Structure 1
Amino acid sequence: MPTNIDARLDAATTTVLAEISRTDAKAGVLLTSFSLPLAALVATVPGRDLPPLAAVCVGAGTVGLVAAMLTVLVVVRPRLDGEHRGSYLHWARCTPDQVLADLAAPTGQAEHVIRLSEIARRKYGGLRLAVDITGTSLVALAAALLTALL
């Protein structure tokens, strides 16, 4: 285990970057999985006479799946508005000397770990919300199926 602070900050940065990558991978899986029930709905529902309760449940489930997909898209959408020291957005507007000064600053890496952690937390929160919405939507779609079958 690293004992000096620089090695520990490097390890923390690597860990948080790995978590951000995991959220993006999970978002890709979620987007793919959301498309399956939506494709089934588009293929089977139009032109069918559904009982009123089933139609309401299908509508609610569809709206929920679309909301979950939009939530996931927000998770993976790049945020280009923050120019915090230690970020590539900040460095894009710096001279080489300014980048070197930024990298040499003793608190720069700690601030970077905090910013990356905030990004990872926000991404995981969005994924959690999308999963919660999806669960509710799938219950509504299951209720629609049961209502239509009975």
Structure 2
Amino acid sequence: MILEGDPLVPKEELDIDARLDAAGAAVLAEISRTDAKSGVLLTAFSLPLAALVAAVPGKPLPGLSAVLVGVGTVGLVVAMLVVLLVVRPRLGGHARGSFLYWSLCTAEELLADLQAPADRAAHVVHLSQIARRKYRGLRLASDITAVALVALAAALLTALI
């Protein structure tokens, strides 16, 4: 283990080790964050869909209620598909400073990549673009889900009236 301030270890080697640790942590954080989001969102969006599958088949519904249930069900399915697209790995565009780029490097190329300060900034930009794309997708899925749940609530009200 390399300790900061060790007179036998050149400062450049310490900088590379710190960058390698940070790069590894960033990759692991992205993987963990994606897995957590996909599980939580797909579970949350599937609960109303599961209730529909359990409650609706074989039950006669008035015309408007049937249409609203259909709209709500389609909305929930579309929202789930959007979430799946959000968490689906994009393996194209091997930007420098990314784990996709590093997967194609030798150890020497990885060290050279980590030594370039401009590439670190590009990596942060690349990760920010990924995060922005994911959040736009999540917002879209949330909006679709909100409309679907309103349609389902309206279906329930029209069925009770």
- State the TM-score, normalizing by the size of structure 1: 0.83
Taking the TM superposition and a 5 Å limit, the aligned residue runs for 1:33-112 are: 33-112=44-123
Cα RMSD for the two superposed structures: 2.4
1:51-84 per-residue CA deviation (whole Å, 9 max, x = no partner) reads: 1100000000000000001111111111111201
**Structure-1 separation of matches of 2:107 and 2:41:** 40
Q: 1:88 to 1:22 in 2, by over 3 A?
A: closer
What 5-or-longer segments of structure 2 have no aligned partner? Answer: 1-14
Which of 131, 149, 158 matches 1:120? 131
**Structure-1 separation of matches of 2:136 and 2:40:** 16
Higher relative contact order, structure no. (Cα contacts within 8 Å, ≥ 6 residues apart): 1
Percentage of identical aligned residues = 71
- State the TM-score, normalizing by the size of structure 2: 0.78
1:25 Cα offset (Å): 3.1
Q: How many residues align?
A: 141
- The one-letter amino acid of 2:160's match is L
- The 8 Å contact of residues 57 and 141 in structure 1, kept in 2 or not, is answered as yes
Taking the TM superposition and a 5 Å limit, the aligned residue runs for 1:1-16 are: none
1:23 Cα offset (Å): 6.2
